[in-house]
Amino acid sequence: MSAARTPWEQPGRFFTSPWNHLEAARAGLSFPPNVRFHDVTLRDGEQQAGVALTPADKLEIARRLDGAGVDRIEAGMPIVSQQDEAAVKAIVEADLDAEIFAFARCMVADVEKARECGVDGIVIEIPSSAHIIERAYRWPLERAIELSIEATLAAREAGLYTVFFTIDSSRAEFDWYLDLVARVATEGHMDALALVDTFGGVTPQAIPVWIDKVRERLPDTPLEAHFHDDFGLAVANSIAALAAGADVVHTTVTGVGERAGNTPMEDLALALTMLYDVEHGLDTTAFYALSRLVRERAGHTIASNRAAVGERLFEVESGIIAGWYEQCVDSYPVELFPYHWDEVGQPPARVVFGKGSGLPSVSVALKALGIDAGDDDMRALVGQIKQRALDTKALLPLEEVARLAADQLASPPVASAAG
């Protein structure tokens, strides 16, 4: 049976749920024609505890991000150190297709340093909840507004596209926050406003309400989404923001970042394409290699079954699923996986051998080894594989399965007891 090409089923690429595309399921969604990705791996990603990227690391990662089609690269915060400044300058001088942004505090000196680096744009941060200004910064509230106005005007004077980045805006007091962004838009300058969920504490259902309240004050200002993953909602929240009218989303490679990390680029891009039929400019086939590069340079580890880039995502141990694999892997692989391994640049799917193995697993192994065996020998071999996996608490390489098979087939059959 040949499958029709639909938004949820594209043979050889992916197969998701038709429920996503019912009119009732899509009611109220207002995605932009093309979502733009603003990558913050080199700045916010590096804030993950224990991560330290050299200028050479950052340049190599920036080149890979550019190759993957990222629209903007936030190259770092040049005021922080000579190394950070050198990295930003090197990325600018690499003449990539992506726009290069710097990150800055609401300080004129930070803006001037970014301008000297030759970046295209700047993300200017300010604490935007009264409680964090008073408790963490120990500033008078008016100082936050004054600094914001002064720094954003300096950015406009420097000719930099300016994203006003309101730290902790998801926990801010409603009126105070809305007054802050309205005053900066009126008395200062912003080309776009970033909605920032610094501590990951907002829900997808709250996002459209948040955007509606901001739109009442800033009806024409472009909005960007910057969400953290402390409750595992960064992707869902980013989708909610894009569906409510934001057109730029901030992400990191494989979700690296402060505490639980930022919105993972891979998960979001795949969801937009395969669940919502929304366009973006990313080459998803670059994801696996890009993730491995970032993880190697950052010393970052992930779960082996992590979405998109996990090392064992396309490995099959269960005997039942190994049977599906035998039937479908060559003809219709997305019957086994929601998306094809090629879509994310992963190695091909394969059957592996462990405690979960069954007769179909052994069938796959023996075919690969060119060995014929009867049912009794195959059952015995399944038992040996399971026991060996329990003893070692590890998968068995095919070579070990071959040795067990050779031993089993060389053994004389056990005589049946007289009945």
| pLDDT tops 70 at residue 419 | no
Mind giving me the DSSP string for 291-316? HHHHHHHHT----TT-TTT-TTTTEE
Sign of the torsion formed by the C-alpha atoms of 351, 354, 358 and 362: positive
410 vs 404 pLDDT, higher one: 404
196's CB contacts (< 8 A; 6+ apart) are 128, 165, 166, 167, 168, 169, 170, 226, 227
Determine the Cα–Cα distance for residues 160 and 348; give it in Å rounded to an integer.
44
- Which pLDDT score is estimated for 418? 40
- Which pLDDT score is estimated for 143? 85
How confident is residue 8, by pLDDT bands cut at 50, 70 and 90? Answer: very high
How confident is residue 2, by pLDDT bands cut at 50, 70 and 90? Answer: low
Sign of the torsion formed by the C-alpha atoms of 334, 338, 344 and 350: negative
| pLDDT tops 80 at residue 253 | yes
How confident is residue 135, by pLDDT bands cut at 50, 70 and 90? Answer: confident
Lowest mean pLDDT among 49-63, 111-125, 136-150: 136-150
How confident is residue 140, by pLDDT bands cut at 50, 70 and 90? Answer: confident
Q: Which residue has the tokens 């060389």?
A: 410
- Which pLDDT score is estimated for 415? 45
Query: What are the C-alpha distances in Å from 171 to residues 70, 132, 200, 277?
Result: 29, 9, 10, 32
Q: Do residues 341 and 314 lie in contact, with contact meaning Cβ atoms separated by under 8 Å? A: yes
Q: Do residues 114 and 104 lie in contact, with contact meaning Cβ atoms separated by under 8 Å? A: yes
| pLDDT tops 60 at residue 413 | no
- Which pLDDT score is estimated for 246? 97
Determine the Cα–Cα distance for residues 215 and 195; give it in Å rounded to an integer.
12
Does this model's pTM top 0.95? no
Determine the Cα–Cα distance for residues 300 and 321; give it in Å rounded to an integer.
31
Q: Do residues 157 and 124 lie in contact, with contact meaning Cβ atoms separated by under 8 Å? A: no
CB neighbours (10 Å) of residue 200?
21
Summarised one tens digit per residue, pLDDT across range 259-301 is 999 999 999 999 999 999 999 999 999 999 999 999 999 999 9
Question: Token digits for 64?
Answer: 């890979």
Which uninterrupted H or E stretch holds 287?
Answer: helix 287-298
Nearest to 354 by CA among 326, 385, 379: 385
- Which pLDDT score is estimated for 139? 79
Determine the Cα–Cα distance for residues 235 and 274; give it in Å rounded to an integer.
14
Length of the chain: 419
Give the residue-averaged pLDDT of 235-252.
98
How confident is residue 132, by pLDDT bands cut at 50, 70 and 90? Answer: confident
Summarised one tens digit per residue, pLDDT across range 17-61 is 999 999 999 999 999 999 999 999 999 999 999 999 999 999 999
| pLDDT tops 60 at residue 85 | yes
Question: Token digits for 415?
Answer: 């005589």
331's CB contacts (< 8 A; 6+ apart) are none
- Which pLDDT score is estimated for 412? 60
- Taking all residues of the chain, what is their mean pLDDT, rounded to a whole number? 94
Task: Print burial letters for 147-174: b (CB count within 10 Å at least 16), e (below 16).
Answer: bbbebbbbbbebebbbbbbbbbbbbbee
Among residues of the chain, what percentage have pLDDT more than 90? Answer: 90
- Which pLDDT score is estimated for 384? 96
**Rounded to an integer, what is the distance from CA 259 to the centroid of its chain?**
15
Query: What are the C-alpha distances in Å from 272 to residues 8, 15, 265, 295?
Result: 11, 14, 11, 24
Query: All domains of the chain, ordered by start, with CATH?
Result: 28-298 (3.20.20.70), 315-410 (no CATH)
Summarised one tens digit per residue, pLDDT across range 229-238 is 999 999 999 9
Angle between helices 108-117 and 141-157 (to 10 degrees): 30
Nearest to 260 by CA among 196, 200, 194, 197: 200
Q: What are phi and psi of 362, to 5 degrees?
A: -65, -35
How confident is residue 138, by pLDDT bands cut at 50, 70 and 90? Answer: confident
Summarised one tens digit per residue, pLDDT across range 190-216 is 999 999 999 999 999 999 999 999 999
How confident is residue 3, by pLDDT bands cut at 50, 70 and 90? Answer: low
